[in-house]
Amino acid sequence: MSLRQDLQKTSSRRRRKEIFIRILIGIGIVGVITGIIIFLFYIPSLRISEVAIAGLSASDEKELREEILEKLKARRFLILPKDHLIFFPKEEIQTLLANKFRVKDFEMEKDFPSGLKISIVERKTWAVWCLADSNRCLLIDREARAFESAAGFAGGAILKIIDARNENFLGKNILPDKSFEKIVFLIDNAPKRVGEEIKTVNIKSAGDTYLLYVKTGWYVLIDDETDEKKALENLYLALNSEIKERKAELEYIDLRFPDKVFYKYR
C-alpha cells in the first residue's frame, strides 16, 4: 500500500468518526430538548387542578366542570398532558362552551399557578315556544334564540309563542332578527300605549304572519312588512275611536297596512 493510499484511508476513517460523533451529539441535543419539554409539561404546580366557574346554577356548574376536566385528562401525542396551564387546549374548551345553547357569552382566564377561571353569561328565558300540533316546547331568549327544551306549558306567567311550522329550532333563532324585533316592540309598548298586554303569539305556517293575542282575548294581525311603530299608532287611534265602545266584542284588528285598519267583531 502506498503512502497516498494509507493517508486516504486514514482520512476516510476520520470523517466517518466525525459524522458518527455529530450524529450522537444531535441525538443527545434532541433528547435533552425533548426531556426539558416533557419536564415542563409535567411540572405539578403548572397543571390545572382547579376550574372555577361563575354564572351557572350549582348543578350546571358541576356538570360543566366535569366535562372540562375530562377533556384535560387527555394527552397530546399520547405523551404530553393537556392540563398544563400554559398549553391547555383553549380552543377545545371554547368549542365546548359555544355548543352549550344556554351559554350566551363567556370569558376564560388563567389563574396561576394551577387554576382556570371561566365566567359565563346565561341566556334568560323570555318566552316559551311550542309547536302548534304537539307538546314539544323550547325556552327562548329576547333575541329569538331557542336554547333549551321545556315541558308542556300551561299558565299565563310568561309569554307563549305557538308555531304552526313543523321545525326544530333548538340552538337556532325561531325568526329572523327584523321580524322578531317587530313582535318584541309591540309586546313592550302595547301596555304603555294602548293599555293591552300581549300574552300569546301565533306564528302562521308560512312563517311571515303573526297573531298577537292580548290578555282580554282578541288579537292583532301583523306580518314581516308591517311598520311596527306605525302599527302601534294605528292601534291606538282605532281603539280610541269607533272601536272604543265595543272593544269587548273584538275578534281581531288587522295592522298589516300602514294607512288602513281592518277589524272584526265576534
Residues 166-192: tens digit of each pLDDT: 899 999 999 999 999 999 999 999 999
Q: 140 and 59, same structural domain?
A: no
Instruction: Provide the percentage of residues in the chain whose pLDDT is more than 70.
Output: 88
- Is residue 199 in a domain? yes
- Of 122, 157, 173, at which residue does a domain stop? 122
Number of structural domains the chain divides into: 2
If asked whether residues 251 and 177 sit together in one domain, one would say: yes
Q: What is the pTM of this model?
A: 0.76
Closest CA to 195 of 212, 216, 210, 211: 216
Domain boundary among 122, 137, 170: 122
Does 12 reside within a domain?
Answer: no
Q: Are residues 95 and 222 in the same domain?
A: no
- Same domain for 134 and 232? yes
| 117 and 144 belong to one structural domain | no
Whether pLDDT at 16 is above 80: no
Is it the case that residue 203 has pLDDT exceeding 90?
yes
Please determine, for residue 41, whether its predicted confidence score (pLDDT) is greater than 80.
no
Tens-place pLDDT, residues 220-265: 999 999 999 999 999 999 999 878 888 889 999 999 998 889 999 9
The overall average pLDDT reported for the chain is: 87
Residue 100 in domain: yes
Same domain assignment for residues 135 and 258: yes
Residue 33 lies in a domain: no
Highest mean pLDDT among 15-19, 38-42, 79-83, 239-243: 239-243
Give yes or no: residues 189 and 209 share one domain: yes
Same domain, 103 and 196: no
SS3 assignment, position 52: strand
Residue 34 within a domain: no
**7-21, 54-68, 186-200, 217-231: least confident range:** 7-21
Whether 253 and 184 share a structural domain: yes
How far apart, in whole angstroms, are the C-alpha atoms of residue 208 and residue 100?
29
Give the least confident one: 1-10, 134-143, 160-169, 210-219. 1-10
Residues 204 and 180: their CA atoms lie apart, in Å, by: 14
Q: What gap in Å lies between CA 224 and CA 178, rounded to an integer?
A: 8
Looking at this protein, which amino acid is placed at residue 203? I
Task: With beta carbons less than 8 A apart as the criterion, state whether 250 and 263 touch.
Answer: yes
Residue 40 lies in a domain: no
- Domain extent for 166: 127-265
DSSP-assigned letter for residue 234: H
Residue 7 has pLDDT above 60, yes or no: no
User: Could you tell me the end-to-end alpha-carbon distance of the chain, in angstroms, rounded to an integer?
Assistant: 124
